[in-house]
Amino acid sequence: MKKLLFLLMVAFACFQVNAAEDFSSKNYIQQWGRLKIQNKQICSESGQPVQLKGWSTFGLQWQVSCYTKAAVETMKLWGANSVRVAMYVNEGGYVSDKPARIAKVKDFIEWTKDLGIYCVVDWHTLTPGESDNPNKTLDDRMGNQGAQYFFKEISSYVKSKGYKHVIYELCNEPNNCSWNDIKNYASQVMPAVQNNDPGALMIIGTPQWCQLIDQAVSSPIDQYKDYLLYSFHFYACSHMNFLPKLQAAAGSIPVVVSEWGAVNFDGDQAETTIDGKKDFQICTSQSDQLLSTCDGNNNGNLKISWWMWNWGDKWEGSSSLRDCGNVTNDNLLASGRYILTKLCGDGTCATPVPSTDGAYGGTPQVIPTPTGEYFEIAYYDLGGEGVAYHDGNGDAENPGFELTTNCNAGYEYGGEEFNFRNGECVDVSGCYGLSGTYTNYNLCNRENDEWMKYTVEVKEPGYYSFEYMSNPSTSGTVSFSLEKPIKTGGTQPLGNCMYTSGTLDEIPYITFDNYDDVEGCAATWECWEWDKPLGAKSPSLLFKEAGTFTITMLFPEDGGDLGPFRFTKAASYSGEGYPEPDAGVGLSDAASADFVIYPNPTTGEINIDLADADEAEVNIINMMGQIVYSSTIESGAKINAGLVKGTYIVTVKTANSVAQQKLIVE
Ligand code: IDC
């Protein structure tokens, strides 16, 4: 017995040695408090040296699905005690949508606070981009909404919340400008931080993309010197000859490596195949030397904080992840695997939290669709395959749309790189918006039983109708179903789909019409058009309450391109039960003014008389949304479509109208 106990104890001890370090319960902010600079290095409030480390995000504007609270939690579980939030100023970043970028930075501040890790807010100036010299981003050059404005906004937010975990990186990589220019910039921006968040640490970039940190050593900045860190950047395959500058600077001025990558300076490296999977080469021994420098092998024998480029899934050597929608210990690229060995040890890293599902970009799309806006079909929820969508993954007969081996969403469109929700297997492509940029998306190449889920914010209860953009150059039919909208957090559906019949939930599919074949009309918005669903009750959705709902669109069969949607409130809803919508807007069982069917119910044959037109296209659609009969008729016609028993929708399309009626075959 004693022997057994002993063996058990040995086994237990071994198990403990090999067990993944549990970072989940750590709260670094509580442990270290307000960070400060002491003896040229970052220290805790009580004066203990602290080495911050973790990932830098990629551009917040590009990889929206990578930046969720679950992602930050995973970084922490994998050993990061901080995250750097790279808010690009140009290239579609801050300048293109200031409120959205500021909101995202604040999200990060909240997520990191909740998780107990530090947050570096990076004003990501850069060339390419228009900000080689950061002075170009000062308020007087940017309509009073430049760097000072941004840092005031963030620091006053931090102050209002009483937070102490935010570090301000005043500019990313100055270049094409002198150290004096950078000093001028710093002197104007530092007060914007310190006036609200006194004592907060700040990071200033150094010349030539943060390679020439020696220039800061020769002439450091005096103002706020107790709170100012100097940054050095390092790309392992390109910058070995600059590393001595970092080693020399450490101990002389307070330094951080606010960005480094295991690849070339362009963020990339040659592709290679590792364990049968496409991957990238990285420069391991050079990266090792950087990290050893940061661990104390430097002039001051100091710990240097670092953030690695990057937490993202663009198909590029510096990306750590293969798929932000599916972050697991096995689904990493070489950069990610490398950094895990440094942060949490080889093979012992905790299993990450599954991505939480939720609205794309953290903000649900709004119903009703605001005037002039679109409900983007490509903004399906976060969470990846099986959670937010199901995609059959490619179509061998349609290689243009085939997903690449790393499962990039989107394909080369118009010869330009289409870089959107990479890593997610949904066949989304970009469409030139009317403005001539990729502002909208469409869904193509659907296969049977694919679906996508959307978290939506319903502003007002009521009956809603919807329209969709279709590409007239694609002919064919698209069918899909809107599942019952379920209110988030609720168990009972608080909304209903009225579908094609008057009976609740009776017919699950709505058929779309993409017939109008316009020859030679490419996928540009100029020739796309708003269409209404065929055979659907209109309005077709009822939301009994305002609030957050999820809607799932199911695609039961292949179909042509579908663009964005538009939800419009058709009638108000008050009270209980399931009343018919306002007279006139719904599909009635009786004949409408546009055409007459008789007999109805029928045992087979029907007659159709057109009211005001000489010619019309007739379609008969079954409960599955499939078109079972289609023809062109003149004024009146006898039709024997050989229909089996059941309920159908007959649609009659004339030059100016589309009308529909229910047909029962007995
Ligand atoms: C790069 C990205 C690349 C993107 C480019 C946009 O890796 O996909 O197209 O930005 O300008 C930096 C920058 C950082 C760069 C990175 C790699 O701070 O924004 O990201 N890099 O080039 N400095 C040195 C390298």
Going from the C-alpha of 578 to that of each of 306, 491, 494, 496, 574, the distances in angstroms are 59, 18, 11, 9, 10
Q: Do the beta carbons of residue 67 and residue 105 sit within 8 Å?
A: no
Q: Which of 91, 169, 173, 424 is catalytic?
A: 173
Q: Do the beta carbons of residue 311 and residue 84 sit within 8 Å?
A: no
| pLDDT cut 70: percent of the chain above it | 72
Whether ligand 1 lies within 6 angstroms of the CB of 173 is answered as yes
- Whether pLDDT at 18 is above 60: no
pLDDT of residue 243: 98
The Cα angle at residue 45 between residues 39 and 51, in degrees rounded to 5 = 60
Chain mean pLDDT for the chain: 80
CA of 376 to the centre of ligand 1 (A): 28
The rounded distance, in Å, linking the Cα atoms of 52 and 122 is: 15
pLDDT of residue 277: 85
The pLDDT-based confidence of 577 (bands split at 50, 70, 90) is: very low
The pLDDT-based confidence of 444 (bands split at 50, 70, 90) is: low
Q: Do the beta carbons of residue 155 and residue 168 sit within 8 Å?
A: yes
CA of 230 to the centre of ligand 1 (A): 20
**Which is more confident, 637 or 194?**
194
Q: 233, 269, 318, 319: which to mutate for ligand 1, most atoms within 8 A of CB?
A: 318
173 given a catalytic annotation: yes
The rounded distance, in Å, linking the Cα atoms of 153 and 196 is: 9
The rounded distance, in Å, linking the Cα atoms of 552 and 454 is: 6
The rounded distance, in Å, linking the Cα atoms of 31 and 245 is: 32
State phi, psi for 65 to the nearest 5 degrees: -70, -10
Q: Give 299-321 pLDDT, tens digit per residue.
A: 999 999 999 999 998 889 999 99
Q: 172, 266, 417: which to mutate for ligand 1, most atoms within 8 A of CB?
A: 266
CA of 236 to the centre of ligand 1 (A): 14
The pLDDT-based confidence of 511 (bands split at 50, 70, 90) is: low
Whether ligand 1 lies within 6 angstroms of the CB of 394 is answered as no
pLDDT of residue 8: 46
pLDDT of residue 647: 75
Query: In 3-state terms, what secondary structure has residue 360?
Result: helix
Whether ligand 1 lies within 6 angstroms of the CB of 615 is answered as no
* Burial of 14 from C-beta contacts in 10 A (0-12 / 13-18 / 19+): exposed
Q: Which residues pair with 453 in a beta bridge?
A: 552
Q: Give 580-600 pLDDT, tens digit per residue.
A: 443 333 333 333 446 788 888
- Whether pLDDT at 496 is above 70: no
The rounded distance, in Å, linking the Cα atoms of 111 and 358 is: 15
| pLDDT cut 90: percent of the chain above it | 44
Give the nearest ligand 1 atom to 316 CA: 8
- Give the mean pLDDT of 401-430: 48
pLDDT of residue 471: 59
447 given a catalytic annotation: no
Percent of residues in the chain assigned helix, strand, coil, to nearest 5: 20, 30, 50
- Give the mean pLDDT of 600-621: 82
Whether ligand 1 lies within 6 angstroms of the CB of 453 is answered as no
CA of 29 to the centre of ligand 1 (A): 29
Q: Give 322-366 pLDDT, tens digit per residue.
A: 878 778 888 899 999 999 999 998 667 888 876 666 888 778 899
pTM greater than 0.75 (yes/no):
no
pLDDT of residue 13: 42
State phi, psi for 471 to the nearest 5 degrees: -95, 110
The rounded distance, in Å, linking the Cα atoms of 177 and 171 is: 13
The rounded distance, in Å, linking the Cα atoms of 539 and 367 is: 14
The rounded distance, in Å, linking the Cα atoms of 38 and 226 is: 8
- Which residue's alpha carbon is at the smallest distance from atom 13 of ligand 1? 126
* CA 141 remoteness from chain centre: 31
pLDDT of residue 259: 98
pLDDT of residue 559: 62
Give the nearest ligand 1 atom to 88 CA: 19
- Whether pLDDT at 484 is above 50: yes
**Which is more confident, 244 or 4?**
244
- Give the mean pLDDT of 172-186: 97
State phi, psi for 189 to the nearest 5 degrees: -95, -30
Whether ligand 1 lies within 6 angstroms of the CB of 122 is answered as no
Q: Give 266-281 pLDDT, tens digit per residue.
A: 999 999 999 888 899 9
How many residues belong to the chain?
Answer: 666
pLDDT of residue 393: 57
Domains defined along the chain, listed by start = 28-343 (3.20.20.80), 360-386+446-571 (2.60.120.260), 595-665 (2.60.40.3080)
CA of 597 to the centre of ligand 1 (A): 64
Whether ligand 1 lies within 6 angstroms of the CB of 267 is answered as yes
Strand 365-367 versus strand 438-443 pairing type: unpaired
* C-alpha count within 13 angstroms, C-beta hemisphere, residue 604: 3
pLDDT of residue 479: 66
- Whether pLDDT at 518 is above 70: no
The pLDDT-based confidence of 451 (bands split at 50, 70, 90) is: confident
- Give the mean pLDDT of 56-75: 89
The residue type of 48 is Q
Matching residue, tokens 């220019």: 181
pLDDT of residue 311: 97
Structure token digits, residue 450: 């694919």
- Whether pLDDT at 211 is above 70: yes
pLDDT of residue 580: 45
Choose among 229, 206, 228, 55: nearest CA to 134: 206
pLDDT of residue 403: 35
Matching residue, tokens 């309005």: 539
User: CB atoms < 10 A from the CB of 157, how many?
Assistant: 18
Going from the C-alpha of 156 to that of each of 93, 97, 148, 164, 207, the distances in angstroms are 21, 20, 12, 12, 29
Please report, in angstroms and rounded to a whole number, the separation of the first and last CA atoms in the chain. Answer: 79
pLDDT of residue 347: 62
Q: Do the beta carbons of residue 461 and residue 573 sit within 8 Å?
A: yes
- Whether pLDDT at 556 is above 50: yes
- Lowest mean per-residue pLDDT among 213-222, 377-386, 416-425: 416-425
- Lowest mean per-residue pLDDT among 62-76, 349-363, 640-654: 349-363
- Which residue's alpha carbon is at the smallest distance from atom 3 of ligand 1? 267
